[in-house]
Amino acid sequence: MPTAPLKEEKSVQPKSSGKRAAAAGFSEAQAIEQAKVGDAYAFEQLYGLHKRRVYSLCLRMTGNTAEAEDLTQEAFLQLYRKIGTFRGESAFSTWLHRLSVNVVLMHLRKKGLPEVSLEETLEPQQEDGPKKDIGARDNVLAGSIDRVNLERAIENLPPGYRIIFVLHDIEGYEHNEIAEMMGCSIGNSKSQLHKARMKLRDLLKQSKAEKAVRR
């Protein structure tokens, strides 16, 4: 994988990665086409534009900074090998995102990812209110204002729960897509998401209580 720009481009060192394509005279689409034919600087621009989001995805799915860094590099190595297969049928960011998810899932399978039991019963619904679709958006978690505590709580979820939660509630994948990626049923995906949300609420409540005690 190329690690340095071409010699004539070395003087271009923009502060913002989002401006790199413009600085080199490439749009993202042009950078993609140039990278397909082996342009090292064009590939570096794509890396600069997308590395932060890919790293964030890897970190949220693994909960480990060292693994996230390694998997980010692996995702871009796979991109370097496979960019020639990108046909523009979806947005490049979407295509790269799916590639990155697959890299992380393959890594976790090799590690022997602890499976969350799918035989556990779901927490009982409140009888005095309308039944809730366990795969629907959780407005309480979505409205959390303490972003730091939320991120920490996500990291502390059991691996199986964390992956489903990240894929659905953060990255926006539908349950049918998650089921395909994870090799499970749509019902199992919904079940694990529900349990992940309940566990996450518990972790956030615990964090809030610990803060109150410290005060």
Instruction: Give CA 202 to chain center in angstroms.
Output: 23
pLDDT at res. 52: 95
Tell me the CATH architecture of domain 139-208: Orthogonal Bundle (1.10)
pTM above 0.75, yes or no: no
At the topology level, CATH places domain 7-111 in: Rna Polymerase Sigma Factor; Chain: A (1.10.1740)
Asked if residues 191 and 118 have their Cβ atoms less than 8 Å apart, the reply is yes
Q: Which of these, 202, 200, 198, 195, lies nearest to 116 by C-alpha position?
A: 195
In which residue ranges of the chain is pLDDT below 70?
1-25, 113-146, 211-215
Q: Where in the chain is the domain with CATH 1.10.1740.10?
A: 7-111
Asked if 14 and 23 touch (Cβ cutoff 8 Å), the reply is yes
pLDDT, residue 212, reads: 67
Q: How far apart are CA 2 and CA 167, in angstroms?
A: 30
